[in-house]
Amino acid sequence: MDRQHRDVILYELNEVPWDVVEIYVNRRPESHIATLLREGQSLTTVHEDREEHQGLQPWRTWPTLHMSTYDHNSFDLGQDPTTFRGEPIWDVAESAGLSVGVFGPMQSWPARRFRHGGFYIPDTFSRDAKTFPPTLETFQTFNLAMTGENGFSPDAAMHPKALAATAATLVRQGLTPRSMATLGTHLVKERVDPRYKAFRSAMQAPLSFDLFWKLHRTHQPRLSVFFTNHVAGMMHRFWGDGMPGYTERFEYTSDDVYGSFIIAAMDIADRQIGRIRKYLAKNPDSMLVVSASMGQGPVAVPELSDHMHVVEDYTLLAESLGLRPLGPGLAMYPMVSLVFDTEDDARAAGPPLASVSVEGKGPLFARIRVEGKTVTFGIDYMLGCEDSAMLRFRPGNGESGEVVAPPEKLGLTRQPRIGGINTGYHIPEGILIAAGAGIAPDPSRKEVDVLDVAPSLLANALGVEPVASMQGIPSLFA
């Protein structure tokens, strides 16, 4: 076999560190992940972004891995994609004449048709449901609705009729009986114990992978990319409940139900990796790479109020501040994204947003960033959210003076968040596990530069020359 011409399946297991993998394989010694560690190569990616306060965010770290540069200008979800710089690995592969399949990687919107075959389903924060092939648009519409409705707290109502109609379509597109049973079992658990609603976001992963896997087997692209965030979400919220040693280190009362979620999420990933392993056995020219662009570790429990401010009415927010947005983009709480018709409108929105403050406490909106036709900002949930809180702001519509009003005037509501608060957060080190064609066993877990991943896959597996903008060295998988 020519080692320079391998097919690549890149399974992006967002933010999973070696600590979680070790605990998982100790509990599941016969798992597919445990077998990968015995038979494949285990490395540790290191992400060294110099962008202050913003480097270790998945909407930056994944473009870093995909484009092999820190100079890609991706700062937030919902950002105008015309402001990104660099070429992701799938564009480079396509330009070299290879077939490519993309399913959900961060900052991959908008969808487009690959010239040499394949498929393109962008991430779950896309502004529209367009996919290639178009038959996946029903699924993407459902996916985006799930992201939007459960962006703050995963307890929005799931409409049985709409879910059933979507499921009927998805069965024709690859949804397996096992995934249907998994979803059904979960919905029953939610009804019996509402705490299981906090695991709902993980239910997107079985549906997504089923559809991805049918597309992959149908099109068999040279480069196939699948992204899943389902373990990362559980680690953020429930590290303190599910990871040993946390309650000894920090003052925290763990919950047994929440404590089961990280392992349950890893079980979903393990079943998917098992299906890929069976494919590798029948396709000896293919290799699997399981990667995280960074990891997570324990953090102290922040002192927060029981309720948090959430933007509920974007139209009212815009009217009260004198803004002219086309509408909101999808973002991950506490971040908010607004999309404007022109760059001038976006720039004009900055000062009014910066003027919003909680009376007697400080600015409510932080990290305001204007990029092209989008404005992104975060809600400072550390300020608290009392019933009597009043906001001060200066509209940008020519009105003079400062306005004092309740949060409802700006379309904000007070909401509790199911499942508690984050006890896990980002660290620079992630996992990189390779197996299949041309990969020799290597349990070393030695550190490698995250910038080296994309050029190594291009040069040493796909036989494609990395582009000049890529800063990494093709030193892996040779």
Rounded distance, CA 306 to CA 322, Å? 31
Which amino acid makes up residue 291? S
Whether 193 and 333 share a structural domain: no
The answer to whether residues 100 and 121 touch, using CB atoms and an 8 Å cutoff, is no
Whether 353 and 229 share a structural domain: no
Q: Cβ–Cβ contacts within 10 Å for residue 242, how many?
A: 25
- Domain that includes residue 323, residue range: 307-416
pLDDT of 3: 44
- The residue-averaged pLDDT of 356-363 equals 92
467 falls within a domain: no
The answer to whether residues 58 and 332 touch, using CB atoms and an 8 Å cutoff, is no
Q: Is the dihedral of CA 300, 302, 306, 307 positive or negative?
A: negative
Q: Look up tokens 């490519």; give the residue.
A: 100
pLDDT of 422: 87
Q: Look up tokens 């056995």; give the residue.
A: 281
- The residue-averaged pLDDT of 435-463 equals 97
185 falls within a domain: yes
| Share of the chain residues as helix, strand and coil, in percent rounded to the nearest 5 | 40, 20, 40
Whether 150 has a pLDDT exceeding 60, the answer reads no
The answer to whether residues 446 and 463 touch, using CB atoms and an 8 Å cutoff, is no
Q: State the total domains in the chain.
A: 2
Whether 203 and 235 share a structural domain: yes
Whether 73 and 208 share a structural domain: yes
Listed residues 386, 401, 416: the one ending a domain: 416
Whether 382 has a pLDDT exceeding 60, the answer reads yes
pTM, full prediction:
0.93
470 falls within a domain: no
Residue range 389-413, pLDDT digits in tens: 899 999 986 666 899 999 999 999 9
Continuous segment of H or E residues that includes residue 227: strand 223-228
The answer to whether residues 325 and 318 touch, using CB atoms and an 8 Å cutoff, is yes
The tokens describing 18, both together, are 């070696």
Rounded distance, CA 130 to CA 145, Å? 14
473 falls within a domain: no
Position with higher pLDDT, 90 vs 184: 90
Whether 51 and 72 share a structural domain: yes
Whether 115 and 201 share a structural domain: yes
The answer to whether residues 262 and 242 touch, using CB atoms and an 8 Å cutoff, is yes
Residue 143 pLDDT class (50, 70, 90 cuts): confident
Rounded to 5 degrees, what are φ and ψ at 134?
Answer: -60, -20
Whether 205 and 68 share a structural domain: yes
- The residue-averaged pLDDT of 270-283 equals 98
456 falls within a domain: yes
Residue range 6-16, pLDDT digits in tens: 999 999 999 99
Residue range 300-323, pLDDT digits in tens: 987 766 678 899 999 999 999 999
Rounded to 5 degrees, what are φ and ψ at 402?
Answer: -95, 145
Computed over every residue of the chain, the mean pLDDT equals: 91
Whether 331 and 412 share a structural domain: yes
Rounded distance, CA 136 to CA 464, Å? 29
The answer to whether residues 123 and 105 touch, using CB atoms and an 8 Å cutoff, is yes
Whether 402 and 437 share a structural domain: no
The answer to whether residues 334 and 376 touch, using CB atoms and an 8 Å cutoff, is no
DSSP 3-state of 4: coil
Distances, alpha carbon 467 to alpha carbons 38, 111, 453, 472, in Å = 34, 22, 13, 10
Whether 79 and 155 share a structural domain: yes
The residues, ordered by sequence, that sit 6+ positions from 387 with a Cβ below 8 Å of its Cβ are 414
469 falls within a domain: no
pLDDT of 362: 93
Which amino acid makes up residue 256? D
Which amino acid makes up residue 28? R
Q: Which residues partner with 448 through β-bridges?
A: 45
Q: Measured in Å, how far apart are the chain's first and last C-alpha atoms?
A: 13
Whether 410 and 440 share a structural domain: no
Rounded to 5 degrees, what are φ and ψ at 58?
Answer: -60, -30
Q: How many residues in the chain?
A: 478
140 falls within a domain: yes
pLDDT of 252: 92
Whether 252 and 323 share a structural domain: no
167 falls within a domain: yes
pLDDT of 421: 75
